[in-house]
Amino acid sequence: MDNQRLFALAGLGLLLFVNYQTWQHDYAPPPAPTAQQAPAAATAPTASAFQGAAPGTGAPPSGSAPAVAPTPVATLPAAYTAAAGTDVHIHTDVLDLVVNTAGVEIRGATLNHYTMSVEQSDAFVQLLRPTGTDGIAVLQWGLAGAGAVSAPDAIYSTPATDYALGEGKETLDVPFSWTGDDGITVTRSIHLTRGSYAIGLAQTVRNEGTTLWRARPYAQFVHHWTKVDRSMFNPATYSYQGPAVYNGKKYQKLAVEKPDVDQLPKGAITDGWIAGLQHHFVTAIVPDPKSPTEYSMTVANGDYRLSTLGAWQEVAPAATAAYTTQIYIGPKLQDQLDAVAPKLDLTVDYGTLTVIAKPLFWLLSQVHKLVGNWGLAIILVTLIIKAIFYPLAQTSGRSMARMRNIAPRVKALQERYKDNREDLGKQMMELYKREKVNPLGGCLPMLVQIPVFMGFYWVLLESVEMRQAPFFGWLHDLSVKDPYFVLPALMCAAMFGQFKLNPAPPDPMQAKVFAIMPFFMTAMMMFFPAGLVLYWITNTGLSIAQQWHINKVVSEETTKVRN
């Protein structure tokens, strides 16, 4: 098989690899479903779970007063019903929260620095909301198993209905309190930090009664889920959106359309978390890593409820107990995610190419700190990668140049032995050996580019840092397609120039295939992120410059030998 056919196969391999990775990322089948619900093995959700109540409390320790028994359900309410309460508004430099005094439920979260799109610069991303065209998304937390304390209509009091992180202050604490008839006082606090999307949730229980009191901390979010139809015209549709869980060892995306009881961690675990993913953004709950926690998920009517339920704690009369939970509501900023919980950065879903994509993103980030422009960073990183693989490209480039020089002799052999393919193969191998030509050498750079290309694809698609990142002129967002298709046109011209620079295929049919390959690749990548096309143009341009130089050097060497 000659060098040109191998190039055709390499190009086909690239296309197949792109399709396979995309399919594997979004369509790989989950484990076979066994039930339409997925409650945790140790507990069952109550029928009012989607209406703000705590998840099933399970059985209390031996000797304790019995809690309200959980009721297994076959179906859940058709719609989320918010308990009556007063909305409290909390403002920081990066977040606007709406917290209702009924259960201290977080019913609104707006990101002040992230607009819906370049065109919608006055509309900001909302990750939590009680209503809307995108469905509900609310976060609930509290104590389960203590009667009215966990009821959805338990109304907490707070000194004000509007809080703001003032100038010169780095933190903001918003208090809520509730006192029951049995002498139990619950104080809850929401802790926010300037510039951070991490939020601390703290609960303190004071038992002024005469009997032992027991409860379990819980946190959960109820989120609407809609199946997204994938389309090559909108690469964002290939990003996973839905629930995910980390059990301290393994990260797993959870099936919503066909949930499976076996997909959730079994028993109580530590160092885990749950998350709801929305492309560039995430809502995550990180229970106290020192407290064993159970996980459960229930799906009904297009909504899913993903919950954490901590261990039982006892509060004796005149004693106090404290509970803490960390949440994250914001963009998938990898530095902040790493600081919140182990492996929370896995919500930036690079798929099976994480081992390549993460170093690429790190390198891009470092270069961006120097140049301040993600487009320039892509160009410079492409140059760095090209330099790293220069020895390999140099060897293959010289082989390509020699192939170009002996092309007339190859064609002559094909004419002479056109009726004897066995002798033709022997003569061509002798010619390659005599001229020190490796017919496979030209394919190596193409094969190396495939994983790097895919790594760039997922970095540009998944990294929120690339979202709405401008380059220059008309390119206001490198994470989406070029609106005027200028970059794809330049890519087509560059690829066609590279085709003309390489050895001409002796087979006329192969020559035609290679001639249309640039147009085929351009049609496929027209709707890819502009940053990815920019990478491909830069890489192709550098390859052309390198191959042109090598051709010149090899030609001069050949002339000297002949003289």
The 10s digit of each residue's pLDDT in 168-219 is 899 999 999 998 878 889 999 999 999 999 999 999 999 998 899 888 899 9
Residues with Cβ within 8 Å of 81's Cβ and at least 6 positions away in sequence, in order, are 51, 52
Which burial class, exposed, middle or buried, applies to 121 when counting CB atoms under 10 A from its CB (0-12, 13-18, 19+)?
exposed
Give CA–CA dist 62/169, Å, rounded.
47
Contact predicate 239/231, CB 8 Å: no
Taking the model in full, what pTM does it have? 0.79
Q: Output the average pLDDT for the chain.
A: 80
Residue 133 or 249, more confident: 249
- Other C-beta atoms closer than 10 Å to the C-beta of 556 total 10
pLDDT-derived band at 56 (thresholds 50, 70, 90) equals low
pLDDT above 70 (res 29): no
Note the pLDDT of residue 3.
40
- Other C-beta atoms closer than 10 Å to the C-beta of 65 total 12
- Other C-beta atoms closer than 10 Å to the C-beta of 449 total 20
Residues with Cβ within 8 Å of 383's Cβ and at least 6 positions away in sequence, in order, are 538, 542
CATH of domain 31-50+86-349: 2.70.98.90
CA angle 420, 422, 428 (to 5 degrees): 100
Mean pLDDT value of segment 145-161: 70
The 10s digit of each residue's pLDDT in 65-80 is 333 323 222 233 445 6
Note the pLDDT of residue 442.
56
Where are the domains positioned within the chain?
3-21+359-562, 31-50+86-349
Beta strands at 162-164 and 87-91: parallel, antiparallel or unpaired: parallel
Q: Which two tokens stand for residue 163?
A: 């809080």
Residue that is written with structure tokens 């009667």 in the block:
147
Note the pLDDT of residue 205.
92
Note the pLDDT of residue 562.
59
Residue 506 or 228, more confident: 228
The 10s digit of each residue's pLDDT in 469-525 is 999 899 999 988 999 999 999 999 998 888 777 766 555 676 677 778 888 888 888
pLDDT above 50 (res 320): yes
Distance, first Cα to last Cα, the chain: 32
Angle separating helix axes 421-434 and 407-416, nearest 10 degrees:
160
- Other C-beta atoms closer than 10 Å to the C-beta of 136 total 20
Question: CA-CA distances (angstroms) from residue 191 to 97, 165, 206, 216, 248?
Answer: 12, 11, 20, 21, 25
